[in-house]
Amino acid sequence: MADPGEARRHPDVGSRTYAVRKPLAEWLRREAEVASRRPQRPRLLDVGCGIKPYAPFWKGVVSEYVGVDIANPGAELEGTVEQIPAADASFDLVVCTQTLEHAADPARAVRELRRVVAPGGRVLASTHGVQVYHPDPDDYWRWTHAGLERLFRENGSWSAVTVEPGAGTAATIGMLVATLIWFLAKRARVRPLAWPFIAGINLAGGGLDRLSTRLRTPGPGTIFANYHVVAEP
């Protein structure tokens, strides 16, 4: 059977969500590499796990991979990020990708992520700066880097919180244009024709961002598709 996570781990350059998925996969791959150097294999909790697209990165790295989700037969535990069905400090790594925007109460969700992570552990969360509305089952929130950092710092005591954008400003604006092209091509039933345009936009956006630190670094005038948060208890 085809692996549905493959397209998330190796996103196609002609995909309209490339600016979100490509940096996200690279970041998680690097985090798994860092975790592989731990003296003891960590326990990992994936909150809002969906199809667990990134689980293969953690194979051989973690001692246990536990998924939590709502109405998902592929998850080991049924529950929400606002009320995680796990004991305090019971996981060394808590991953929560592209889920906070779907949580009705993100402040409570962050407190729950803090509660279940063990001392010396790490929470890895990602969520959108800008993105089209995509209910799953609903879609409530978007953040700036400053707002997301504040959400974490104000909810739970953390020794460190870092928030980094995934793709830069040019790739993000490219993603919005690519989304419009994709939508129009879909309406006109010529979706395959959109691929070269979207691929060109994604490549050009990434190239521009690589040329300019200002486009990649949060500051006035920047805009980011997605953020990666590392929070340490």
Ligand X SMILES: C[S@@+](CC[C@H](N)C(=O)[O-])C[C@H]1O[C@@H](n2cnc3c(N)ncnc32)[C@H](O)[C@@H]1O
User: In the complex, which residues of this chain contact ligand X (CB under 6 A)?
Assistant: 8, 48-50, 53, 69-70, 72, 80-82, 97-99, 102-103, 136
Q: Report the residue number, 17 or 172, with the smaller CB distance to ligand X.
A: 17
Please answer whether residues 94 and 64 qualify as being in contact, where contact means their C-beta atoms are separated by less than 8 angstroms.
no
Helices (H), 12-156: 18-35, 106-116, 145-153
Please answer whether residues 52 and 74 qualify as being in contact, where contact means their C-beta atoms are separated by less than 8 angstroms.
yes
Q: Report the residue number, 83 or 212, with the smaller CB distance to ligand X.
A: 83
| Smallest separation (angstroms) from ligand X to the CB of 82 | 6
Quote the CA–CA distance of 170 and 212 in Å, as a whole number: 10
Q: Report the residue number, 126 or 169, with the smaller CB distance to ligand X.
A: 126
- Tell me, letter by letter, the H, E, C secondary structure of 14-28: CCCCHHHHHHHHHHH
Q: Give buried/exposed letters for 125-152 (b at 16+ CB in 10 A, else e).
A: bbbbbbbeeeeeeeeeeebbbeebbebb
| Smallest separation (angstroms) from ligand X to the CB of 209 | 22
| Smallest separation (angstroms) from ligand X to the CB of 113 | 11
Instruction: Output phi, psi for 192, to 5 deg.
Output: -60, -25
Q: Report the residue number, 10 or 210, with the smaller CB distance to ligand X.
A: 10
Quote the CA–CA distance of 14 and 225 in Å, as a whole number: 16
| Smallest separation (angstroms) from ligand X to the CB of 174 | 21
Q: Report the residue number, 25 or 35, with the smaller CB distance to ligand X.
A: 25
| Smallest separation (angstroms) from ligand X to the CB of 143 | 15
Nearest residue by C-beta to ligand X? 50
